[in-house]
Chain A
Amino acid sequence: MATVHMTVNGKAVTGHIEPNTLLVAFLRENLRLTGTHVGCDTSQCGACVVHVNGQAIKSCTTLAIACDGAHVTTIEGLANGTELHPMQMAFREHHGLQCGYCTPGMIMSAVDMVNRKGHELSEHTIREELEGNICRCTGYHNIVKAVAAGAKAMQGMAKAAE
């Protein structure tokens, strides 16, 4: 067993884990944050995307112990109380999901995309940047619309916070 310390969604957590525990298993099974999903479990589908130190990564292909000391944000950490994050709102408004399984990863990737590429995202950029997130229901059309709208809405959020 090993001890690992992280800040997850702003809260300090400590876990006693086996070194072979994946970050996604630590989040889901130890912390009961089941919003992060395991889809393919082969680092292709992106249902497990979370932010580690501000960067979107695949938590199914990351050891929890390698994240000792890291700041982790999961889908549960985006909303402000009962008020959804603008990207979550955009996915709801534009119906950017059907079954919803891929949605947490889509939204975490989308927020990361905005952090890197800004608030005005072309359809081409969004589709390219979603290469690591697979959806088997929607055909992506509404996801792309939702990401574009969410990116713009996040600009309002940044301004409101100033």
Chain B
Amino acid sequence: MKRRRFEENFFKGIMIFCFLLVASSLGFILFIVVMKGLPALNWAMLTQTPKGGYYLGKEGGILNAIIGSIYLAGGGTLLALILGLPIAFYVGVYSRKSKIADWVRLSLDILWGVPSIVYGAFGFILMLSMGMRASLLGGIITLALLELPIMTRAMDEVIRMVPRDLEQASYALGATRFETAFRVVIRQTLPGIITAILLAFGRGIGDAASVLFTAGYTDRLPGGLLQPVASLPLAVFFQLGTPFPEVQQRAYSAALVLTFIVLIISLGSRWLSNRLSRFAHE
């Protein structure tokens, strides 16, 4: 009996330890990024583009990357939404439980696990075949592909939660499926849809491997859809690659800015969905 109770307590202890280890790793990561990133962070970093000699440690900032990332992730999210919303509605409202819906869900789940570097390579092939070069548009398309499964699956999950009788009530009043989807279901699921959009945006803005091939990099602010564009993750990556400590310091600051943006989006979407769902359920 003593042995059994010891075993119980022993494993419970291990579990609590593991749990605390995982929970504290987030704190550890944030601590390191803040500690190393804060010293070099200043106003000029956030408001200026790189000046001549920036990569040797001279003046300038990463505004090009901040704006570029917002353009890239914003465009990618918009494109993913244009494609993802109809898919989520088709799967969730038009033909729930059909074979096609199952196949679409399965493919989305599979796409969700495809590494971003593979999307990058695919985007690169796509651009070559269209005769494009690394550009904002290329990055947007690639990010949209990356974000599509994340966003659509998240929307699908909330649409599934809509009570069946709500839809039935709508059909009973003579509404078409399109009307049901875009007038009834969308109102009920708006908080969830916004969360899904922000989730995808957060994933898009932090991704480096997919834009590496397709968006290029430039010290200037984004010029147009067909111009190359800088991004925050790559700003971190490239500045770390220089041999100058001052520049590496700035890489840490850029990482801090990126982390900050992503955390705000993650926490914000949680807050927003909590607030909005309170209204939705009246």
Partners in one complex: no
Binding site for B on A (CB under 8 A): none
Task: Spell out B's residues near A (CB within 8 Å).
Answer: none
